[in-house]
A = this chain, B = another copy of it.
Amino acid sequence: MLDIPQLLSRHARSIEDLLAGEVPPGQIPYISDGVWYQFSSGGKRLRPALCLITCEALRGDPSKAMPFALATEILHNFFLIHDDIEDGDTMRRDRETLWKHLGIPNALNISDFLIAKAYQLLAGCPLPPKVVLLLLRIYSDAFERTVEGQALDINLRGCADVTLETYFRIVQLKTAYYLALTWVGGAVVAGVEEDALEPLWELGRCLGPAFQIRDDIIDMTQGKGRGGEVGCDLREGKPSIFFAYVLDRKKGTDAERRRLVEIVSKPREETTAGDVEWAIAFYRRVGAIEHAEEEARSLIARADSVIETIPLGRDGKEVFRAISRFMIDRNT
């Protein structure tokens, strides 16, 4: 089995150096500093590393995958900047978010710079033009789908008639493509043809939602690291699988469901500790957490069978098995 943590740390240094080469700190007035404030806010460069690891495992040249890998890291940061503005989040990993630090105008303009830079990197990939265009297409398609998911997400928060189907649609659009993009890109650079890519996307459609559901569960049980506080998503009114489950399956009484919708719809600062406690207890009582755990397990099982269909020989199956296992362990 490939040792993913070891591969991650092997690639980390070169990702960092090349990122600094592409977007040199301190060079562009009112942009570079903000870019590096954002980049240094604690990311592990997981996405570019997954791209390089995949490329290498499929006997491609990871140095040729580097521009694409950096572009996935940039897209990730672009989304983080916008998510923080859209959610009004003021803190990320114990630091002020970019918009809180520099104001919305600068945060927005810095994100514009980042996405222009990402596309410069993509357009300059050291590969045959046809391959470069394929990379550009998959990148832009994943970008677009993620944005479509975000549109549903921000507009359906606290919505009283959300279904499980809608929940899965949102989560799939928001997480699947943008995660799978990393290994699909690595595979393309290694020479995998377009018509063999579908199971790799499908793997994203299993693993992305599985990790999101795990994330929902962690928020209910251990807290998401922001000082171990539980129920952050409840406070922010994010559409969780529990909320969708209760409403879709009509769990509890009408009065209980009304109370839940009310709690989820409240502005964050009005949500009390009592509200959060009640909602978590309610979710437990009606089996929402168990249901979520079951869904995550079934998605991971489906991921395993998707991997068996990947038409890339033993090495291909092996790297995706390793990535999938690593991400599941990391997330539990």
Residues of A at the B interface (CB closer than 8 Å) are 28-31, 82, 85-87, 104-106, 108-110, 112-113, 115-117, 119-120, 122-124, 128-130, 132-133, 136-137, 139-141, 143-144, 147-148, 150-152, 154-155
A275 to B148, CA, bound (A): 46
- A151, B86: Cβ atoms closer than 8 Å: no
Q: For A116, give its contact among B120, B147, B154 (CB under 8 Å).
A: B147
Residues from chain B with a CB closer than 8 A to the CB of A124 are 137
**Within the assembled complex, what's the spacing in Å between the Cα atoms of A143 and B144?**
19
List B contacts of A86 (CB < 8 A): 104-105, 108-109
Does the CB pair A136–B119 fall under 8 Å? yes
Asked if A108 and B123 sit within 8 Å, CB to CB, the answer is no
Q: Which residue of B lies closest to A34 (CB)?
A: B151
Known contacts A133-B129, A148-B31; A85 and B112 CB within 8 A of each other: no
Task: Select A82's contact among B112, B133, B139, beta carbons within 8 Å.
Answer: B112
Bound Cα distance from A132 to B128, whole angstroms: 12
Rounded to whole Å, the gap between the CB of A142 and the closest CB of chain B is: 9
For A85, what are the chain B residues with a Cβ–Cβ distance below 8 Å? Answer: 104-105, 108
Q: Does the CB pair B30–A155 fall under 8 Å?
A: yes
Closest 9 CB pairs of A and B: A129-B129, A86-B105, A30-B151, A116-B144, A116-B143, A123-B136, A119-B140, A30-B155, A112-B147
Residues of B contacting A133 in the complex (Cβ-Cβ under 8 angstroms): 123, 129, 132-133
Contacts of A119 in B (CB 8 A): 119, 136, 139-140, 143
A116, B181: Cα distance in complex, Å: 14
CA distance in complex: A150, B31 (Å) = 10
Closest chain B residue to A134 by CB distance?
B123
- Given A132-B133, A140-B119, A28 and B151 contact (CB-CB distance below 8 Å): yes
Return A289 CB to nearest CB of chain B, in Å.
Answer: 29
Nearest-CB residue, chain B, relative to A82:
B108
A150 B120 Cβ-Cβ under 8 A: no
Task: Please give, as numbers and ranges, the residues of chain B lying within 8 Å of A112 by CB-CB distance.
Answer: 82, 143, 147, 150
Q: How many whole Å from A284's CB to the nearest CB in chain B? A: 31
B120 touches A154 (CB 8 A): no
Min CB distance A245 to B, Å, is 22
A119-B140, A148-B28 known; A109-B129 Cβ under 8 A: no
Q: Is the CB of A147 within 8 A of B109?
A: yes
A140 to chain B, nearest CB (A): 4
Given the complex, which residues of B lie within 8 Å of A137, measured CB to CB?
Answer: 120, 123-124
How many Å lie between the Cα of A113 and that of B132 in the bound state? 21
Knowing that A109-B154, A120-B140 are A-B contacts, what are 8 other residue pairs whose CB atoms are under 8 Å apart, sorted by A's residue number?
Answer: A30-B155, A86-B104, A109-B150, A109-B151, A113-B148, A113-B151, A116-B147, A119-B139
